Amino acid sequence: MPNIAAAAGADLNASYLIEEFQGVSGLILESWGPSARNADYNEALEVIIERLQSMSVGEIGVNVISRDLVERIPSFADRAILLDSTSSVSLRGRGSREIRLEIGRAQASLKVDPSKPGGNRTKRILLHSTKLTPSDWRLVASSSVTPAVTRIPIIPAGNQSPKSFAQMTVVIERDPGVRTWILRAAGGSCELCRQPAPFLDAEGVPFLEVHHVIPLATGGPDTITNSVALCPNCHRELHHGKERNLKIQRLYDQIHRLTKAAS
């Protein structure tokens, strides 16, 4: 029986199956015990939840399918993990550990002998969703999940009639002469990546965007010593990129007219 893969790629001590149980297909996480059998059950469940969240899966069904409990409660629906009185477990707005603990508390309440205190929080469970195929569950178990930015298994409903609203913005006055000077000085090439502009605009001019290295909104000056001409990709990277600080320093190293102090 295969094991759930940890985030680092090594196998956890937590076995699983991808199969159908009582007509419902999904991922079966085997119970913890006896002794050290499937001792990484809790970590494995958290890993599964995190991978489902990365796939933008908003909710799943979780049903206890341990043999003894199935004999006492034959109905599949009656063995569902119920959180907030619903038959689906929401994966939104909470961390994997919090969700795992809630599932565990609900498992403990489903007992073969309700008269006994306590309860097992690591039973054999089936995780399922009508939006996920067996292949999807295999990816979840094997750590081969692609981030949500490139793999979105659930198609959003969207909005057929988007609403409009008025919004007030503050516009900082800029000197058009600075923009003209910067674009001419760049000579049609991005001053960061040094590549030619990606296309010509409607007037046949190389398309570059003027960027203020120290933002105007934070007190930066609108001068040629604080402005550069960038291709759209480099411009977006300086606003949103993980390595934007390194790229800003590269600008200071490459372009001698730039100064870090206002001038």
**Within 13 A of 35's CA, how many CA atoms are on the CB side?**
0
* 85-140 pLDDT tens trace: 677 899 988 899 999 999 998 888 888 887 887 777 888 999 999 989 999 999 99
Per-residue pLDDT, averaged over 225-250, amounts to 95
Question: Which domains does the chain possess?
Answer: 3-142 (no CATH), 176-254 (1.10.30)
pTM: 0.56
Cα–Cα dist 89/49, whole Å? 11
* 132-171 pLDDT tens trace: 999 999 999 987 665 444 444 556 678 888 888 887 777 8
Residue with tokens 């910067």: 182
Q: How far apart are the first and last CA of the chain?
A: 69
Give helix 96-109 / helix 41-54 axis angle, nearest 10°: 130
Q: What is the pLDDT of residue 155?
A: 62
* 36-79 pLDDT tens trace: 899 999 999 999 999 999 888 999 999 999 999 999 999 999 99
* 184-218 pLDDT tens trace: 999 999 999 999 999 999 999 999 999 999 999 89
Q: What is the pLDDT of residue 150?
A: 44
CA dihedral 186, 260, 214, 245 (to 10 degrees): 90
* 4-43 pLDDT tens trace: 998 767 899 999 999 999 999 999 999 998 888 999 999 9
Q: Which of 106, 100, 129, 107 is nearest to 41 (CA)?
A: 100
- Residue 145 to residues 35, 72, 135: CA-CA distances in angstroms? 31, 37, 11
User: Which alpha helices (DSSP H) does the chain contain, by range?
Assistant: 41-54, 67-72, 96-109, 134-142, 176-186, 232-240, 244-254
- 147 or 176, higher pLDDT: 176
